[in-house]
Amino acid sequence: MIYLDNAATTKPSERALKAAEKYLTEKYFNPSSLYRAGHELNLQLKEARKNIVSLIGDENKFSCVFTSGGTEADNQAILCGGKRGNIVTTLGEHSAVYEAVNEAKKRGIEVRFAELNADGSVNREHLLSLIDDKTSLVSVVHVNNETGAINDVAAIAKMVKTENEFTLFHSDGVQAFGKISFRLTKDIDLYSVSAHKIGGIKGVGALIKRKDLILKPLIFGGGQEENIRSGTENVFGIKCFEFAAIEKLEAINQYYDKIFVLKKLFCSLLDSTMFNILSSDNASPYIISLIVKGVRGETILHEVDDKGLIIGTGSACSSNGNKRHSRVILACGVDKQTADGILRISLSSETCEQEIRTAAKILNETVANRLRLMA
């Protein structure tokens, strides 16, 4: 089996799992308990929080709230950060942000959507034109989860603060964290990350926030996570996240260079008479968005699945809906007929050259055969 749907989820790191195993089998205590073993686990959570934040930001200026994943982190940022006036975001956001702002709209907050460029990045001029003195929050995805387009969120955040210094800036960094070299700046107030996209386990994420930012909770209960996110912490999952993050960030540039070469190889091996590459050369090399000419992408997905190749057609978080076409791809200017042929290939640091060569061969043969049958 060749697995190239890593934007949906990655295989957990064996090294991280082994290092965190004791927090599942031996140190399984409640970290909020008053006895010594519980207190020791609380200290381990503080260490994990410090280590994860320090990988992309100044631990003296930023902290993090552990959540159940990127979706919860996005929801908390949107619903607890955008509390008045209007929220400005983009048409290229992950459903966790897109649906959260629509919920905010139901609660009386005006929502404004910035247009996309053809590659899926945000149109900066349009975004900035939407900001006014009533804008409480701006949210811009760091790496588009369908096209791989990279938004320079540090530069955009600075521009946002120039327009309105009181506006909070949030970015969904789920597809960037651990893959794209990046440091948080003073203009970024909130940043969402997820464990299972970088070799951690599902059900764990974090909302990184400015330390001096007062954020109300989204989930209420026992007051864990400094009363910002209640619920007994998943110590095993959090420590696994910490170890996986350290593993990825220690070699982030080497992994990036490796995947960049593999992306170029894969694109060069595809038959250009049957495929168009939607992702730009400047996109994250970890995500490649393709358009199959004249064939539904979902048809090809199932056919290559039978041949041992696992790929996607877009965001896995949108596959449960009944909409045939991706709203993100349509916002890139792709017409509905062409959007039918969308496929998403996503790599991980573990992807190798032979897998890329075999995957391209399977795709070329499968699409060619399908076109012959349709002729």
Question: DSSP string covering 6-45, please?
Answer: TTT--PPPHHHHHHHTHHHHT--S-TT-SSHHHHHHHHHH
Please state the separation of Cα 330 from the chain's center in Å: 20
Tell me the C-alpha distance between 143 and 172, whole Å: 8
| Active-site entry in 64, 317, 332, 352 | 317
332 is catalytic: no
Q: Pull the structure tokens for residue 145.
A: 């989860």
Location of structure tokens 């990825």: 248
Q: Are 280 and 373 in contact (CB under 8 A)?
A: no
Question: DSSP string covering 234-252, please?
Answer: -HHHHHHHHHHHHHHHHTH
Helices (H), the chain: 14-20, 22-25, 36-54, 70-81, 95-106, 124-129, 153-163, 224-227, 235-250, 252-269, 297-305, 327-331, 336-339, 353-374
Catalytic residue numbers, as ranges: 317
